[in-house]
Amino acid sequence: MGKIVYLLIKVRRFYCKKCKKTFREEIPIIGQKRISKEFRKTAISEIKTQSFNEDSEKLKVSSNTL
C-alpha cells in the first residue's frame, strides 16, 4: 500500500452516422467513474491550502479536473 499506480488505457471513440453523435468504448473494469474516492479526498484537502494550478501540477491532472 501507499504506492501510486498509473493505468494508461486507450479508449476507442466511435461516430454514429445515423444520429451523428460520438461515443466511447465502455470498459467494464473502469465503469463511469473517472476519479477514485481517495483521489477526491486528497484533491479536496490540497485545494484548501494551495491554488488550483499548484494542485493540478502536484496531482498530475489538469486544473479543469479539479
List pLDDT tens digits, range 1-47: 678 777 777 888 899 999 999 988 877 766 655 667 787 788 778 77
Amino acid at site 39 = F
Residue indicated by cell numbers 486528497: 42
- pLDDT at position 32 is 59
Distance CA 35, CA 12 (A): 19
Residue indicated by cell numbers 481517495: 38
User: In whole angstroms, what separates CA 11 from the centre of its chain?
Assistant: 13
- The upper half-sphere exposure of residue 39, i.e. CA atoms within 13 Å in the direction of its Cβ, equals 15
- pLDDT at position 15 is 92
Residue ranges covered by each domain of the chain: 37-66
pTM above 0.95, yes or no: no
Is the pLDDT at 65 greater than 80? The verdict is no
- pLDDT at position 33 is 58
For 50-65, what is the mean pLDDT? 76
